[in-house]
Amino acid sequence: KRVSYIDKEKLVPVYEELYSESGMLIKTWKYEDIRDHNGRQFPQRMIIRDTLQANSTTTIEFQTLEFDVDIPLDHFKRRWLSR
């Protein structure tokens, strides 16, 4: 199960929790520095915490974002993805 906390003004998630089928909290996501990118609200930073491992945190920071970019279909073939 995933529980999302949504910013009522921007209508984007600001925090999420992922639970196992047994109800144990597995991971949390915190979305920070939400900015407008050509009409799309998107976080510049995501902090993911693994609650099953002590001190296990992953931070993803976006420096540039592009949307609606044409990607050649062959990029989705197994041969390309295994690189």
C-alpha–C-alpha distance, residues 2 and 40, integer Å: 22
Question: What value does the mean pLDDT of the chain take?
Answer: 90
Q: What is the pLDDT of residue 66?
A: 86
pTM of the model: 0.74
Helix spans in the chain (H): 78-81
Averaged pLDDT, 30-35:
94
